[in-house]
Amino acid sequence: MRDGIVRHIDGLAGEDLPAYVYDLHALREHARAIRAALPERVEVLYAAKANSDPELLSALSEHVDGFEVASGGELRHIRGLFPGTPIAFGGPGKTPRELTQALDTGVERLHIESEQELRLLTTLLGGRTVDILLRVNLPIALGPVALAMGGQPSPFGLDPADLDRCLAIIAADHRIRLRGIHVHLASGLDATAHLSLAGDVLAWARDWAHAHRIELAEINIGGGMGVDYAHPDQKFDWAAFGAGLGRLLARHPGLTLRIEPGRSVTVYCGWYVTEVLDLKRSHGQAFAVLRGGTHHLRTPATKQHNQPFRILPADAWSRAWDRPEAHDEPVTLVGQLCTPKDVLARRVPVGRLRTGDRVAFAMAGAYAWNISHQQFLMHPAPAFHHLDHAPVPAASHP
């Protein structure tokens, strides 16, 4: 956490909390580094589902080639914010209205998830044309991953057995241009695993295109670049990934490769900041009850992990009684909800944590606020702060 962010949090009153604090300067630097690590022939679409906060998207927009959306709502949001920016529209269960919206707004790529979706598209096209990728659920063994969405039975993408029928539909309809293949099989892959997956996908696509005499101009290998909530400093190795993609592309001249990461791009720039309302003991264990909870930051509940956090001590104490505190012991950090599932971090050792101290949860920039059950118990919503200043350079000495 940069000093400027700490100072900003220190300046907030208790009633200003909880708050999401987004470090847009850090986000720009991170996105710039990702772009720099990748070969030119790799296009980056940010998966808006990870976090569609407008200011965060604006900071990102300079460093990505476009956005991936997965609903009519996301499509409207992104088109409204960035009218000329390329959009790929994917995701299962697209309704006729959403497909029409995609055609009306001229999405650059439509990712087709099933034969029925393709058939539906042919009935909606009218005089228009559309560029599509077929999303395929390839039978590739993934090994241990955070979230498998393919490589096994799943509702996502086309079974390879359905591809021939889809090709026949496309061949019979000159309005549909098949540009290539889309594959998003998992979330939580490290660079080595993702490269191996990319190699398998490219090899399969080349053989498949050759066998069917198709020209494949592009392949989208999805998102899913891993982040490690237990070790926030161990980040996805974009340099190794970029170098590996460069080697792969050298074997596939003329091919454009696309990736659509979400979590790995924005997760680090977000902090969910709150304060300890109460610190108590129950049957020998310490619990810190925080202002807010998993209705604002659902990530630890959904992933069943401890959200990493940093304690920002607040020394002022004006109450007439002794300040409750935990000292060199494990503490469970919970929210204000009336459910034992409202746990942000369980039995984590702390040096000292007191009622009134601030707690800043890290890695809250993706799948955090936007996946939370915000109305449960009707507590106030958090505030949102977008900090965009660069660190002040150290004074230079003559």
Ligand X SMILES: Cc1ncc(COP(=O)(O)O)c(C=O)c1O
Interacting span for ligand X (CB under 6 A) from 35-43, 222-230, 309-317, 330-338: 222-230
Nearer CB in complex with ligand X: 145/288? 145
Count CA atoms within 13 Å of residue 155 on its CB side: 4
CB of 314 to ligand X, least distance (A): 34
Interacting span for ligand X (CB under 6 A) from 10-18, 123-131, 172-180, 260-268: 260-268
Residue 18 tokens, joined: 């909880």
Among 99, 225, 273, 344, binds ligand X (CB under 6 A): 225
Among 137, 264, 274, 306, binds ligand X (CB under 6 A): 264
Among 68, 117, 275, 357, binds ligand X (CB under 6 A): 68
Could you tell me which of 26, 28, 8, 30 has the C-alpha nearest to residue 17?
8
Residues 122-151 touching ligand X, rule: CB under 6 A, are none
Count CA atoms within 13 Å of residue 168 on its CB side: 6
Is-contact 251 213, C-beta < 8 A? no
Q: Which of 316, 338, 392, 395 is catalytic?
A: 338
Residues 40-59 touching ligand X, rule: CB under 6 A, are 47, 50
CB of 384 to ligand X, least distance (A): 21
Residue 125 tokens, joined: 């096209």
Residue 349: which H helix or E strand, with range?
strand 343-354
Ramachandran quadrant class, 93 (left: phi over 0; alpha: psi -120 to 50; beta: rest): left
Residue 101 binds to ligand X (criterion: CB under 6 A) = no
Among 18, 66, 72, 224, binds ligand X (CB under 6 A): 224
Among 18, 72, 90, 308, binds ligand X (CB under 6 A): 90
Tell me how many degrees the CA angle 296-298-302 measures, rounded to the nearest 5.
Answer: 175
Distances, alpha carbon 220 to alpha carbons 87, 88, 117, 374, in Å = 13, 10, 19, 33
Residue 270 binds to ligand X (criterion: CB under 6 A) = no
Residue 365 binds to ligand X (criterion: CB under 6 A) = no
Residue 184 binds to ligand X (criterion: CB under 6 A) = yes
Residue 308 binds to ligand X (criterion: CB under 6 A) = no
Among 53, 200, 260, 357, binds ligand X (CB under 6 A): 260
Is-contact 303 229, C-beta < 8 A? yes
Among 150, 262, 300, 356, binds ligand X (CB under 6 A): 262
Whether 338 is a known active-site residue: answer: yes
* CA–CA dist 318, 321 (Å, integer): 9
Residue 147 tokens, joined: 């979230």
Residue 292 binds to ligand X (criterion: CB under 6 A) = no
Helix ranges restricted to H, the chain: 3-10, 24-37, 54-61, 72-81, 96-104, 115-124, 163-171, 191-211, 238-250, 263-266, 299-303
Residue 21 binds to ligand X (criterion: CB under 6 A) = no
**Catalytic positions, please?**
338
The site for ligand X (CB under 6 A) is made up of: 47, 50, 68, 90, 184, 187, 222-225, 260-264
